[in-house]
């Protein structure tokens, strides 16, 4: 991709005045935790991949430079536990450059299988132990705060004694009261937790709300004089998962969770693919995203989740247009010596960033530029008669013309 640096920030084209940028602000690299093989598989609509497919997805995560993968919740049963162990063995045997973690309730019965798998495989596995923190959960479950404290202390102490690092997850953080959060965070830290995770479990947080809870916990940690990793785990119930995650990053979290294509329970999780693209465009990251479409397509196949045509960046229509005005601008840009210009003149994300390219089709709202561009891309010369005949067919159609339909018109014109 033709791009130039401005500090640590990627500038996709010098003619773009980027109102998104905060000039002079340092952009620390954000760690990523891929939950596709755990939270993603909690969607009632997905197919659970077999172990070979899971290992393939794990390899693809590692190739993308994703820092950590959640391998599953072994306490859910023998099948999940067996898959988690196979995934851990793949990390070890293939020396995959990705760390492992596993989910667990704040119960020794959930943590013990993680300990055993880690010991058998020799792979360090971070224990992500979670507990409901909001007054809603406390009321529904009949939990007193003291009960949550005891479970938190016992579970984390057990995990630490057995050599696991622990990320303590306050489930439903974004609807929890400050008192409950303060008590549970203090308890977790005292028991040995090395990371905290703020979970927007039902996708409740707005971007402003996400920033507010991150700042609250950040100030709490600062007041305690403690430095631990701070995670954000978001969902899409209000359609704000990505925006809330980016806001949480700006507020100070150091690792963000997501799933490929945003799969997950109910409306799903923060889409890690969209998160990756935005981190690169925002200057938080400089990684190569050329294999990102392959990863998303592999998840689509393995989990039987179709990618909508209009899905951002990964959808079939993400870099595709049939509109005459848009096609004219792309055509003019492509004829300059500036090869990157055509990639951004009608695109917020350069297609080349993810190994794709701009596509111009011909349909009912197309103009001459669509036909000229299409013919040139297919190595064909366009006479005025041919261009008019293709346009005439397109105007009568209810959809964009297929390649076969266009080539049939080309052959008819040649035969005259």
Per residue in 289-327, pLDDT (tens digit) is 999 999 999 999 999 999 999 999 999 999 999 898 988
Instruction: Look at residue 25 in the predicted model and tell me its pLDDT.
Output: 62
Of 247, 233, 241, residue with least CA distance to 282: 247
Instruction: Look at residue 211 in the predicted model and tell me its pLDDT.
Output: 98
Residues 96, 209: one domain? yes
* DSSP string for residues in 137-161: HHHHHT--HHHHHHHHHHHHHHHHH
In a domain, 104, yes or no: yes
**Rounded to whole angstroms, what are the CA distances from 212 to 20, 184, 201, 333?**
20, 18, 16, 43
Instruction: Look at residue 15 in the predicted model and tell me its pLDDT.
Output: 86
Q: Is residue 125 within 8 Å of 101, Cβ to Cβ?
A: yes
In a domain, 308, yes or no: no
Residues 260, 378: one domain? no
Looking at 303, 334, 363, which one is the last position of a domain? 303
Residues 337, 259: one domain? no
Of 244, 354, 233, residue with least CA distance to 296: 354
Residues 6+ apart with CB under 8 A from 155: 104, 105, 106, 107, 108, 111, 129
Instruction: Look at residue 251 in the predicted model and tell me its pLDDT.
Output: 95
In a domain, 5, yes or no: no
In a domain, 315, yes or no: no
Instruction: Look at residue 6 in the predicted model and tell me its pLDDT.
Output: 34
In 3-state terms, what secondary structure has residue 167? strand
Instruction: Look at residue 362 in the predicted model and tell me its pLDDT.
Output: 92
pLDDT band of residue 276 (cuts 50, 70, 90) is very high
Enclosing domain of residue 286: 27-303
pTM: 0.92
Half-sphere exposure of 260 (CA within 13 A, CB side): 32
Give the pLDDT confidence of 9-58 residue by residue, as tens digits.
Answer: 466 788 888 888 765 566 788 999 999 999 999 999 999 999 999 999 99
Give the pLDDT confidence of 75-85 residue by residue, as tens digits.
Answer: 999 999 999 99
In 3-state terms, what secondary structure has residue 88? helix
Give the strand pairing for 4-6 and 9-11. antiparallel
* Conformational region of residue 284, where left means phi above 0, alpha means psi within -120 to 50, and beta covers everything else: alpha
**Rounded to whole angstroms, what are the CA distances from 272 to 59, 260, 261?**
16, 5, 7
Looking at 242, 274, 303, which one is the last position of a domain? 303
Q: How far apart are the C-alpha atoms of 187 and 153, rounded to whole Å? A: 6
Number of structural domains the chain divides into: 2
More confidently predicted of 203 and 337: 203
pLDDT surpasses 50 at 4:
no
Q: Is residue 70 within 8 Å of 39, Cβ to Cβ?
A: yes
Residues 148, 62: one domain? yes
In a domain, 203, yes or no: yes
Q: How far apart are the C-alpha atoms of 73 and 77, rounded to whole Å? A: 8
In a domain, 33, yes or no: yes
Instruction: Look at residue 310 in the predicted model and tell me its pLDDT.
Output: 96
Give the pLDDT confidence of 371-393 residue by residue, as tens digits.
Answer: 998 998 899 887 889 999 999 99
More confidently predicted of 178 and 28: 178
Residues 99, 184: one domain? yes
Q: How far apart are the C-alpha atoms of 152 and 132, rounded to whole Å? A: 11
Dihedrals phi, psi of 226, to nearest 5 degrees: -115, 140
Q: Is residue 132 packed enough to be buried (19+ CB in 10 Å), middle (13-18) or exposed (0-12)? A: buried
Residues 395, 273: one domain? no
Q: How far apart are the C-alpha atoms of 258 and 367, rounded to whole Å? A: 41
Residues 192, 260: one domain? yes
Residues 410, 265: one domain? no
Q: Which pair of tokens denotes residue 376?
A: 């040139």
In 3-state terms, what secondary structure has residue 237? coil
Instruction: Look at residue 3 in the predicted model and tell me its pLDDT.
Output: 40
Residues 327, 352: one domain? yes
Question: What are the residues facing 14 on neighbouring strands?
Answer: none
Dihedrals phi, psi of 117, to nearest 5 degrees: -65, -40
Residues 257, 293: one domain? yes
pLDDT surpasses 60 at 65:
yes
In a domain, 98, yes or no: yes
Give the pLDDT confidence of 222-256 residue by residue, as tens digits.
Answer: 999 999 999 999 999 999 999 999 999 999 999 99
Q: Which pair of tokens denotes residue 332?
A: 């003019």
**Mean per-residue pLDDT for 268-287?**
94
pLDDT band of residue 189 (cuts 50, 70, 90) is very high
Q: Is residue 231 within 8 Å of 171, Cβ to Cβ?
A: no
Of 67, 103, 71, residue with least CA distance to 255: 67
Looking at 303, 336, 360, which one is the last position of a domain? 303
Residues 182, 259: one domain? yes
Give the pLDDT confidence of 92-142 residue by residue, as tens digits.
Answer: 999 999 999 999 999 999 999 999 999 999 999 999 999 999 999 999 999
Q: How far apart are the C-alpha atoms of 237 and 228, rounded to whole Å? A: 29
Instruction: Look at residue 26 in the predicted model and tell me its pLDDT.
Output: 62
Kindly calculate the radius of gyration of the chain based on its CA atoms and give it in whole angstroms: 25
Q: Which pair of tokens denotes residue 390?
A: 């293709």
Looking up residue 118, the CATH number of its domain turns out to be: 3.20.20.70
Q: How far apart are the C-alpha atoms of 163 and 48, rounded to whole Å? A: 30
More confidently predicted of 358 and 51: 51
Instruction: Look at residue 10 in the predicted model and tell me its pLDDT.
Output: 61
In a domain, 61, yes or no: yes
Instruction: Look at residue 28 in the predicted model and tell me its pLDDT.
Output: 82
Of 93, 103, 27, 85, residue with least CA distance to 62: 93
Residues 42, 158: one domain? yes
**Which of 6-10, 154-158, 405-409 is predicted with the least confidence, judged by mean pLDDT?**
6-10
Instruction: Look at residue 24 in the predicted model and tell me its pLDDT.
Output: 54
The length of the chain is 416
Instruction: Look at residue 11 in the predicted model and tell me its pLDDT.
Output: 61
């Amino acid at each position: 991709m033709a791009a130039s640096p401005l500090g640590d920030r990627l500038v996709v084209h010098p003619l773009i005045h980027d109102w998104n940028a905060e000039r002079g602000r340092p952009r620390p690299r954000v760690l990523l935790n891929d939950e596709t093989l755990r939270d993603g598989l909690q969607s009632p609509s997905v197919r659970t991949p077999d172990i070979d497919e899971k290992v393939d997805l794990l390899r693809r995560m590692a190739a993308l430079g994703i820092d950590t993968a959640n391998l599953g919740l072994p306490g859910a049963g023998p099948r999940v536990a067996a898959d988690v162990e196979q995934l851990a063995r793949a990390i070890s045997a293939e020396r995959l450059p990705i760390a492992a973690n596993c989910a667990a309730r704040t119960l020794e019965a959930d943590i013990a299988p993680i300990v055993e798998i880690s010991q058998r495989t020799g792979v360090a596995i971070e224990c992500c132990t979670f507990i409901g923190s909001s007054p809603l959960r406390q009321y529904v479950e009949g939990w007193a705060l003291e009960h949550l404290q005891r479970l938190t202390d016992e579970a984390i102490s057990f995990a630490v004694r057995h050599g696991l690092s622990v990320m303590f997850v306050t489930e439903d953080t974004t609807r929890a009261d400050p008192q409950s959060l303060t008590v549970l965070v203090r308890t977790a830290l005292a028991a040995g937790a090395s990371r905290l995770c703020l979970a927007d479990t039902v996708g409740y947080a707005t971007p402003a709300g996400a920033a507010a809870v991150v700042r609250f916990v950040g100030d709490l940690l600062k007041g305690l004089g403690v430095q631990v990793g701070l995670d954000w785990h978001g969902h899409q119930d209000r359609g704000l998962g990505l925006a809330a995650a980016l806001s949480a990053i700006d507020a100070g979290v150091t690792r963000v969770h997501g799933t490929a294509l945003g799969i997950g329970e109910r409306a799903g999780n923060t889409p890690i693919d969209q998160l990756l693209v935005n981190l690169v465009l925002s200057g938080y990251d400089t990684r190569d995203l050329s294999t990102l479409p392959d990863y998303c397509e592999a998840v689509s196949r393995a989990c039987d989740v179709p990618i909508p045509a209009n899905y951002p960046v990964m959808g079939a229509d993400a870099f595709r247009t049939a509109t005459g005005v848009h096609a004219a601008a792309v055509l003019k840009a492509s004829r300059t010596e500036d090869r990157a210009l055509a990639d951004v003149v009608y695109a917020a994300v350069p297609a080349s960033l993810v190994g794709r390219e701009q596509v111009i089709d011909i349909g009912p709202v197309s103009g001459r530029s669509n036909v000229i561009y299409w013919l040139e891309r297919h190595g064909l010369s366009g006479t005025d008669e041919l261009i008019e005949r293709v346009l005439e067919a397109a105007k009568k159609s209810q959809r964009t013309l297929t390649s076969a339909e266009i080539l049939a018109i080309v052959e008819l014109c040649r035969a005259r």
